[in-house]
Structure 1
Amino acid sequence: MQRVHGDGRATIDALAQQYRVSPQTIRRDVNALCAAGQLRRVHGGVETPRSSNILYTSRRRLNEGAKQNIAHCFAKLIPSGASLAVSIGTTPEIAVQSLETQVDLMVLTNNLNIALYGCDREGWGVQIPGGTLRAGDQDILGPQVEAFFRRYQADFGVFGVGGVSEDGTLLDFTEEEVAVRMAIQRNCRCSILLLDHSKFGRAAHVRGGRIEDVDYVISDMPVPAACAEALGERGVEMIIAEDAK
């Protein structure tokens, strides 16, 4: 999955050569992943799903090193005593876990993994909304969540996206995901978009805002030229995670 999501697609023969196993072994593995909706079969190989997301536990392992680098940069922006409104997604979860030295944080989130982590941090406060629980994604979505974030003015709004199109449009997989992300962005003093390189060109079909609408973008690699130009024109601070190692 790491290989396929990094490259967008892979052939059965290339995977067999990389892992030094037979094509039959690779086919059994990819058939199971495709049956679970985590990959999509194409002629001669597999690719990333076009319009649906994969399981949270699997997403967390994808590009994990890049996400850790992003989290390292993110932690430098957040002082002790700050309030954070944090969205769903594995990169925001890893980013919040990088704040282990900060104290007296208030975390507002619809991401249950982040909420549980915050509950174990001495001196942190955690608020979560009511709503419908998506068990596989381990988060809460719905109108109650949008209303929840509108009740606060957080110091930092922190979120990821499902994908970024070539022209800089931010994409997600459902209208509910977009609505909650936009509610966080509208009700914070400083917005921070976290994304690894796999999000550029990734197929997600619900539009919601543009990459240059935020205050900070933290990525593990330089963004495409069109996005970089738009960020520069709007004065958005672009942080490349590899620069902070």
Structure 2
Amino acid sequence: MSLTYEERRHTILSQLDLEGKVQVHFLAERFAVTTETIRRDLDRLEKEGRLRKVYGGAVRIRSGNNEPTFMKRSQMNLPDKQAIGRLAASLIQDGETVILDNGTTTLEIMRQLKDRAHVTVITNSVPVLNCALEQFQGKIIFAGGEVNADYQAAVGITAHELLSQFKVNKAFISAGGLSLSEGITDYHLEEALISRKMMERAEESILVADHSKFGVTTFAQIAPMEHISMVLTDSGCSREWKDTFARLDIELLTGS
């Protein structure tokens, strides 16, 4: 018996959530229906505002390549980010050195570390640095260089060269998006390159991202998904993504 539209709709949207795109011929074979049926399904979903049709298939609707300001992002999904911050801080042992990249979720990690006198934090993020200077009892190292006022972070060759001097226990990496096809991505190439360097200098790379980032692709790739060992997210993570992380042997922890 062929699947109903609602059943096909669920599968199409789940694939979009994971990969960011679908192909007409692949879906037609999967559902054992004609390509015309799939195109009608995609037409309906486009009218519902769930996807955008392209040649040969459809892609997930993107929020655009213009990232909201740091201040605005810091208030988006704040309870989820705070939960992830608490979870991340609980994984950091006394005596460890960790890297926090420039993100509103990594800022929440820094806030949770304020009383940890025996932890060293390396960051290129001005907001993370400011938070540490106000509250942190441990050691803070700023991976300085050219500070971009829009990103509120140090980028460029000087920051890369400084990061090359360190080998750390854990790198906590934020992201603009995460998809199966494009991996971990960010809005800005300069920040993506810095996050990639941070991962290279860490024994373990941990992605910190609330569930709204899953299935999203932004401008510049940080790394393929296989380059991370763990994902810290919130309770909104879908069953499809949980299964995907398990299949890729990536440990998944959810904050509360």
TM-score, normalised to structure 2, is 0.70
Q: For 1:156 and 1:145, how far apart are their aligned partners in 2?
A: 18
Q: 2:103 matched to 1:67?
A: no
Aligned partner (choices 190, 196, 202) of residue 188 of structure 1: 202
Structure 1 residues 113, 231: closer, same or farther in 2, change over 3 A?
same
Matched, 1:132 2:146: yes
Question: Percentage identity across aligned positions?
Answer: 21
Structure 2: distance between partners of 1:207 and 1:71: 23
Deviation, 1:198, is 1.4
Q: Which residue of 1 aligns with 2:37?
A: none
Per-residue deviation, 1:219: 0.6
- Distance in structure 2 (CA, Å) of the matches to 1:158 and 1:206: 18
The amino acid across from 2:133 in the alignment is C
CA contact (8 A) 1:71 1:98 kept: yes
Runs of 4 or more, structure 1, over 6 Å off, are: none
**Residue 120, structure 1, aligned to residue 137, structure 2:** no
Q: Give the aligned CA root-mean-square deviation in angstroms.
A: 2.1
Q: Is the 8 A contact 2:173 2:207 kept in 1?
A: yes
Unaligned runs of 5+ in 2: 1-60
Residue pair 2:182, 2:221 contacting (<8 A) in 1 also:
no
Structure having the higher Rg:
2
1:158 equivalent in structure 2 = 172
Equivalent position of 1:94 in the other structure: 108
Three-state SS of the structure 1 residue aligned to 2:74 is: helix
- For 2:174, the aligned partner's letter is G
Deviation at 1:151, TM superposition (A): 0.9
Amino acid aligned to 2:170: F
Structure 1 residues 171 and 122, CA gap change in structure 2 (3 angstroms) = closer
Conserved in 1, the CA contact under 8 Å of 2:98 and 2:122? yes
With the length of structure 1 as denominator, give the TM-score of the two structures: 0.73
Give the secondary-structure state (helix, strand or coil) at the position aligned to 1:115.
helix
SS of residue matched to 1:152: coil
Shift of 1:126: 1.3
Q: Which moved more, 1:63-72 or 1:48-57?
A: 48-57
Q: Distance in 2 between matches of 1:74 and 1:122?
A: 16
